[in-house]
Structure 1
């Protein structure tokens, strides 16, 4: 399955970290955010990475060239920062079937593969990885509502009064039907073409969109303190992994048991 990576943002809220680089090249534990995204996507079967670039695009293109870990990369440019629906349309000419979409500034450790598997069942026209957040934080994200079957029935972008605390995480799968919806979207009050508005058009047209709960964690690196938190969580994850390995090595092997007997 192809994968679109949205990497055009300037990252003004991450300044001064983004004064001399695009947002997705900000490093977490000495690794650019976009590399973590690439690794996640390749780990769940991405056959091609279609990267939407914009601010300081040449830094990304010069760094990664035409492939990453053997997976081909295609670049497409978002000349103006006009919202996520607009960004997705820049990749439309390169997509030939169902695809993954990931924001380039998210650090994920979780069940991304469940979303891809659900898309592969051909029951859903789209599937989103979602999570519950405190109500006071929900207004930072696209907030959604679901029915009793776990299907998305409404999405609202950064609402002042969130209808729920269930939010989109920045990882999705779609069929090419999303492009038609993006073409129909009108600018929001912010002057941007919003992805949630395109999703609502899909829902209104009778498309089925499934919500998959995040089993794990993710951090949207929007501010410097988010980068610091991501580093802390990754360090803790690595430490726990090392401890588990040490415990495993302490367990007696079959040869040890045989020798004792």
Structure 2
């Protein structure tokens, strides 16, 4: 399964961290956000990385070249910041089967494999990793509603009055049907071609979208404090793993006295 990584953003809210680099190249725990994304997609068995670049694209291209951990990389260029649906259309000619999509400014320690498995097993038209957030924060995200079967029934981008606190996390799987929907999307009030609108068109055409509840955590790195929080969590997770290793080594040690 191919993987699309959206990495064209400028990251104005992350300044000064993005004054000389795109936000996907901001380092967290010693490596760029994109490297964290690529590593996880490699673990999920990605056959090719389709990376959508834009702002200071040369920094990304020069850093990664044409492959990552043996996985070929193809770059496409989003020439204007016109929304996620607009960005996704830049890879259309490279996709002919189910694919993964990850937002390149998110850091995950979560059950991404469950989303991929759901796509393969159910042959849904899409599967989304979703999480519950405090109700007062839901208006910052794409909000979704589900039915009793765990299928998405509605998606609203940053609503003034969210109907639920279940939000999209930035990891998805799709069939190529999403591209036709993206072509039909009209600019939103903020002048962007929203991915949530394309998803709504899929739903209205009778397509099935499964919601997979997140087990773990993710950080949408939009501000410097988000970067700091993601770094803290990754370091805590690594420390916990190191501690488990030390405990196991101690338990298996032979007392020679």
TM-score > 0.5, shorter chain as reference: yes
**Following TM superposition, by how much is the alpha carbon of 1:122 offset from its aligned partner in structure 2, in angstroms?**
3.9
| Whole-angstrom distance in 1 between the partners of 2:51 and 2:27 | 18
TM-score by length of 1: 0.96
Alpha-carbon deviations, 1:89-135, whole Å to 9, x = none?
00101112000000001000011000000110143110000000011
**Following TM superposition, by how much is the alpha carbon of 1:154 offset from its aligned partner in structure 2, in angstroms?**
0.3
| Whole-angstrom distance in 2 between the partners of 1:122 and 1:241 | 34
| Whole-angstrom distance in 2 between the partners of 1:123 and 1:94 | 21
Give the match for residue 250 of structure 2.
Answer: 250
Give the match for residue 168 of structure 2.
Answer: 168
**Following TM superposition, by how much is the alpha carbon of 1:29 offset from its aligned partner in structure 2, in angstroms?**
1.3
Name the SS for the 2:20 alignment partner: coil
Give the match for residue 177 of structure 1.
Answer: 177
**Tell me, which stretches of 5 or more residues in structure 1 are unaligned?**
none
**Following TM superposition, by how much is the alpha carbon of 1:231 offset from its aligned partner in structure 2, in angstroms?**
0.8
| Whole-angstrom distance in 1 between the partners of 2:243 and 2:252 | 16
| Whole-angstrom distance in 2 between the partners of 1:252 and 1:182 | 56
2:150 paired with 1:150: yes
Give the match for residue 23 of structure 1.
Answer: 23
| Whole-angstrom distance in 2 between the partners of 1:45 and 1:142 | 27
2:199 paired with 1:199: yes
Name the SS for the 1:242 alignment partner: helix
| Whole-angstrom distance in 2 between the partners of 1:41 and 1:148 | 30
Name the SS for the 2:116 alignment partner: helix
Q: How many residue pairs are counted as aligned between the two chains?
A: 257
| Whole-angstrom distance in 1 between the partners of 2:226 and 2:110 | 18
Give the match for residue 87 of structure 2.
Answer: 87
**Following TM superposition, by how much is the alpha carbon of 1:239 offset from its aligned partner in structure 2, in angstroms?**
1.1
Give the match for residue 109 of structure 1.
Answer: 109
**Following TM superposition, by how much is the alpha carbon of 1:137 offset from its aligned partner in structure 2, in angstroms?**
1.1
Give the match for residue 53 of structure 1.
Answer: 53
Aligned CA-pair RMSD: 1.3
| Whole-angstrom distance in 2 between the partners of 1:199 and 1:136 | 24
- Give the 4+ runs in structure 1 shifted more than 4 A: none
**Tell me, which stretches of 5 or more residues in structure 2 are unaligned?**
none
